[in-house]
Amino acid sequence: MDNLDDLKAIWHTAKTESLPTSKEMMQLVGKFRGQKLKRKWLVIVIAAFIGCLMLAVLVVTPFKLFTTYFGGALIIAGSALLAATEIRSLKRFNKLNDCSNLEFLAFIEKTRQNQIFYYKKTMVVIVLLCSVGWALYMYEPVQKYPFWRVGIYTVMAIYLAVMWFVVRPRAFKKDGEKLNAIKQRLESKTKQLQ
């Protein structure tokens, strides 16, 4: 009986003020899920819009050079790949409804692994398709004007370099820090409960 009394004493003296309630945990999961779903839907809509717009331009406008059509096709392929990747990810987030802390931790870990794969592989392919497509698409309008060609391709190169070497790493780091903060918060709460 002493062990039971000791356990009761420990139970009643444990400080639980810092532990979130189940309602707070559900709000954390819901907020995380809602933010990610909103962002994914926005990316899907924008990628579909760009792909459809490029297809419409290629169908309606009579271009003379094959490079323009090939560039447009690469942009459409990049947009389609981006939309498909986000749709696949969207399915995972839609399944995240009611889960335990440990299931949510596993989900966060899987999300981080997917984020790393996207950053290292998928994003490289998408950016390569769109960049080469953009360069080829822009060749026909500026081919007869050397000054404009140099200017347009210089601006394009600077823009792509800034996006690739500055914006992309910062966004990856920021997203990683957010996921790690959520993961650490959940792990600390889970350890307190055990």
pLDDT at res. 11: 58
Rg over alpha carbons for the chain, rounded to the nearest Å, is 25
Q: In the chain, what are the domain boundaries?
A: 27-193
Q: What is the pLDDT along the chain (194 residues), one digit of tens a residue?
A: 555 566 566 656 656 555 556 677 677 777 878 888 899 999 999 999 999 999 999 999 999 999 999 999 999 999 999 999 999 998 888 877 767 777 878 888 888 899 999 999 999 999 999 999 999 999 999 999 999 999 999 999 999 999 999 999 999 999 888 888 878 877 776 666 55
pLDDT at res. 15: 60
Whole-prediction pTM: 0.79
3-state helix, strand, coil in the chain (%, to 5): 90, 0, 10
Q: 51 and 79 in contact (C-beta within 8 Å)?
A: yes
pLDDT at res. 43: 95
